[in-house]
Structure formats: C-alpha cells, structure tokens
C-alpha cells in the first residue's frame, strides 16, 4: 500500500489492539483510537507519540450507532474517509463466567458454593453478546459506507479460540465469538461487490489484565488453568501481542491479500491442532 490509509481501531486501549494501532501509526498511516476509556486510549496514544507520530483519540461505545456515526464525522473531518477498520472492541464480564466446569445438582440449591450456569446474571450475559457481536456489526455498518465511497476497504474482526471450541466457564463469550466467524463470512460475501474485504483473526491465549488473574499467580507462575492451557498449546506458552501484527498486516494489505476474504485465521501457537493427547 502506497497511499496513506486512514485506520480506525476499536478497542484500541486493549492489550492486543493497542500494539496494532501503534504499528499502523509507525507506517505513517492516519490512526484513530476508539474505545470507552480515555485513560487506556491515552496510554496507546502516548506510545504512538513516543514514536514521533500523531493519532486521533475518540471515546465512544461501539454498540451506539448514533455515536459511531458522530465518530465517522470526526474521522472524516480530521483525516478523510476510513479505508481500514479493526473491530477489536469486545471482552467478557465476570458475572457471565461460571466457576464450575460442569453441572452439579447442588447448583440448584439455595446458598450453594460457586457460580453455575443457572446462577449467571442474564443481563451481563446479554451485555457480553451485545458488546462482541453488535460492537462489531455497528462499526462495520458505519465505516463500510466510507469504504464504498472510496471504492475499496479492508475490515478485520476479532474472533477467538472460543470461535472453534466452547471453552469451559465462558458461555456468553463463546457464543458471541462463534457468531463473529459466521458474521465475517456473511458480510464478506455481501460487501465483495463494493471492493471491501472482510476477514478475522482468532487469537489463542494472550495474557491481558483480566486473564492474568485467571492464568497466572501473583509471583508470575501459572495457575492450574494456565498450566492446562500451556500443556494443550504445542508451543507451550502464551502469545505476545506483537505476534498478531504479521497476520493483521497481511489481511489489510490489498496487494498481499487482495483475493482473500471471508476467512478467520487462528494465531494460537498450535492450540487448535492438538487434542492434548
């Protein structure tokens, strides 16, 4: 790509999308950081500024279509039309996570220990689905109009290992991320005549602030769940955010991946290719 692209990154304050945004900025592209928390976005912006580049920070809820249209107007006024969209906003909530791997009859008794499926807060369950699914659908709908006007564009959605395997304890997140792969295929076929390619990445186990508490002990060791994940990952380690950059850069490159659309690429250290046996 020789043209200076305008890139919108949602969830740009996160562990994975922050480095992606910084990498785009280092290419000299116009980078827009979108997220709900200014403090997290500013941390990413500080890294971009440290590299000698500029960016635009916009706080917004990606589930709010009216607000996302305002974001598009701000982007157009500052940089022009968006041609690359990274749908990285998402995540899970503890109230939508079980502490049990399987049903126990005690779960139906009042005052039982632990949190099973029948204890989950359905409001939080819906929130997780909304954030991950509608938080991808709405920005796509908003910024695809810019890409149509430009005659080309590339969108990268964020799927997960939960897209392929419903990992224990995270039913809402697994449900939502499975939908992302299907949505990626549907919208890729729909937008192909407009010259817009849509793909997804499915990160394996990368440690962020939330998962660190689940996978690692305070002294930097591994919890039993962390050990189990590493055992079932052929590379026997967690991923580093920078290890997503090559895949994302390939997917948004109209020359290198110009005939690639509708796929979800695992970046998982081999997790999906091993049964752990």
Rounded mean pLDDT, 231-250: 93
Overall size of the chain counted in residues: 277
The yes-or-no answer on residue 190 being catalytic is no
Instruction: Report DSSP letters for 149-168, one per residue.
Output: HHT-EEEEEE--GGGTS--T
Q: Which CATH class is domain 6-95+130-210+240-273?
A: alpha beta
The 10s digit of each residue's pLDDT in 40-58 is 999 999 999 999 999 999 9
Distance from chain centroid for Cα 49: 23
Say how far apart CA 269 and CA 276 lie, in whole Å. 13
**How far is residue 153's CA from residue 171's CA, in Å, rounded to a whole number?**
33
What's the angle, vertex CA 80, arms to CA 136 and CA 9, rounded to 5? 30
- Count of helices and strands (H, E) across the chain: 9, 7
- Report the distance separating Cα 276 and Cα 231, nearest Å: 7
Strands (E), 131-223: 153-158, 196-203
Mean pLDDT of 125-141: 98
For the chain, the structural domain boundaries read 6-95+130-210+240-273
pLDDT at 1 (0 to 100) = 47
Residue of 79, 164, 173, 190 marked active site? 173
* CA dist 235 → 191, 205, 244 (Å): 36, 11, 15
CB neighbours of residue 109 within 10 Å: 9
Kindly report, residue by residue over 188-231, the tens digit of the pLDDT.
Answer: 999 999 999 999 999 999 877 666 666 777 887 877 777 878 88
pTM: 0.94
Which of the residue ranges 18-27, 89-98, 205-214, 244-253 would you say has the lowest mean pLDDT?
205-214
């Amino acid at each position: 790509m020789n043209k200076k692209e305008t890139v919108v990154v949602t969830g740009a304050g996160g562990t994975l999308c922050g480095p992606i945004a910084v990498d785009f900025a280092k290419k000299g592209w116009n980078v827009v950081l979108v997220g709900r928390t200014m403090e997290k976005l500013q941390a990413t912006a500080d890294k971009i500024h440290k590299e000698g580049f500029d960016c635009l920070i916009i706080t917004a809820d990606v589930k709010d279509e009216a607000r996302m249209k305002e974001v598009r107007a701000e982007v157009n006024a500052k940089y022009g039309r968006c041609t690359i969209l990274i749908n990285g906003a998402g995540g899970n909530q503890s109230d939508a996570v079980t502490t049990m791997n399987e049903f126990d009859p005690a779960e139906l008794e009042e005052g039982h220990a632990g949190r099973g499926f029948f204890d989950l807060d359905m409001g939080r369950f819906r929130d997780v689905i909304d954030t991950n699914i509608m938080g991808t659908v709405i920005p796509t709908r908003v910024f695809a109009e810019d890409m149509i006007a430009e005659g080309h564009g590339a969108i990268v959605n964020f799927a997960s290992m939960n897209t392929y395997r419903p990992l224990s304890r995270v039913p809402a997140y697994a449900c939502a991320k499975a939908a992302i792969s299907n949505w990626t295929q549907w919208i890729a076929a729909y937008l192909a005549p407009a010259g817009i390619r849509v793909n997804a990445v499915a990160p394996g186990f990368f440690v962020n602030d939330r998962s660190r508490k689940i996978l690692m002990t305070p002294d930097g060791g591994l919890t039993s769940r962390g050990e189990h994940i590493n055992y079932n990952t052929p590379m026997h380690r967690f991923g580093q955010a920078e290890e997503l950059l090559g895949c994302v850069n390939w997917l948004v490159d109209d020359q290198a991946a110009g005939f690639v659309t509708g796929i979800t690429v695992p970046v998982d250290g081999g997790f999906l290719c091993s049964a752990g046996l």
